[in-house]
Amino acid sequence: MQHILGIDGLSDADITAILDCAQAYADGLRQPELLRGRIVFSLFFENSTRTRVSFETAAKRLGAEVVNWSPGASSVAKGESFADTIATLAAMRPDAIIMRHTENRAPHMVAERALCPVINGGDGTRAHPTQALLDALTLRQARGQVQGLTLVYCGDIAHSRVAGSGMEIFRRLGARIRIVAPPAFMPMDLPPGVEAFTRMEDGMPGADVVIPIRPQNERMDTALIDDAGYAAAWGLTPQRLALAAPGALVMAPGPIRRGVEIDGAVADDPARSLILKQVANGVFVRMAVLDLLLAER
Ligand code: NCD
């Protein structure tokens, strides 16, 4: 592994190695301070709460120093191009670059120019590999294995890099995948083997895991569906969750909007909701990724 740009760039062995290493961190079995003296750049060209703070926490838990950069306070605001900004930052020779960008494949461009590993924290509508890895770790912990489970992604699948990378990793791990989406949010091309529905009532029966994805309104010129209409037809309520398999679990990448794509009672149900477990595992997965990319360099 040289960079982490998407799930497609990882072999099955890479995925297993990352999940096993993350589990070792979760179990307190790996040594801390592995990256003492290393400098990691965190370049977020787009808003983030969980991903940015989680990467920073992971790097610091491993003893690395994190340099945070954001476009609002930088020369980008003075008109410098993305390419020149990246060339400038890369010339400072960080040990790793973590980045998020609004444009698909922006991390690939950085990976071509930088002399260090590049880790994608989300690019446009394309990929969010560490989110997919932390989702896989969380489900593996909850159910022992992913093979044979039925997962339902519901909501704005067309604009969601979380759904894209998630469907990719879970298909490779042997899950059955369904989509429930309003026609406006249905992807143009369905990944092979994925079943699609437009009504929650049709997609829920037999689901072992339900993953609500919020409408990604910031990627559209105007919201395609208003919040009240969305909640009425596609919101994950206790009644809709009751149509899934007994004991079905709920995962969500966040940010969650209570009463829109997920009911507060579902998000807070300790027997069903894995949402905060996902957040906790995010740190372990990002520690594993930094460890595996950097420790041997
Ligand atoms: C998401 C993202 O930004 O891709 N959040 C996250 O990283 N956990 C999903 C979203 O914004 O809906």
Whole-number Å distance, alpha carbon 47 to ligand 1 midpoint, is 9
Element (H, E) at 65: strand 65-69
Closest residue CA from atom 8 of ligand 1? 253
On the question of pLDDT at 185 being above 80, the answer is: yes
- Distance of CA 121 from the midpoint of ligand 1 (Å): 9
At residue 130, the pLDDT reads 98
Alpha-carbon distance 64 to 175, whole Å?
36
Predicted confidence at residue 222, as pLDDT, reads 73
Topology adopted by domain 129-274: Rossmann fold (3.40.50)
Calculate mean pLDDT across residues 151-159: 96
Q: For residue 295, is pLDDT > 90?
A: no
d(CA 97, CA 237): 39
Q: Give the distance (Å) from ligand 1 centre to CA of residue 252.
A: 9
The residues with which 120 forms a beta bridge, in sequence order, are: 99
Q: What is the pLDDT of residues 200-213, one digit of tens each?
A: 999 999 999 999 99
What's the mean pLDDT in 84-95? 95
DSSP state of 193: T
Average confidence score pLDDT of the chain = 95
Mutate to test the pocket of ligand 1, among 7, 48, 276 (most ligand atoms within 8 A of CB): 48
Calculate how far, in angstroms, residue 128's C-alpha sits from the geometric centre of ligand 1: 8
Grade residue 25 by pLDDT with cuts at 50, 70 and 90.
very high
Ligand 1 atom nearest 122 alpha carbon: 4
Encode pLDDT of 110-130 as tens digits: 999 999 999 999 999 999 999
- C-beta 94 within 6 A of ligand 1: no
> What pLDDT score does 70 carry?
87
Cα(186)–Cα(180) distance, integer angstroms: 8
pLDDT of residue 58: 97
Q: Under CATH, domain 7-128+279-294 is a member of which superfamily?
A: Aspartate/ornithine carbamoyltransferase (3.40.50.1370)
Domain residue ranges of the chain, discontinuous segments joined by +: 7-128+279-294, 129-274
CA angle 146, 187, 1 (to 5 degrees): 50
- Same CATH topology for 7-128+279-294 and 129-274: the answer is yes
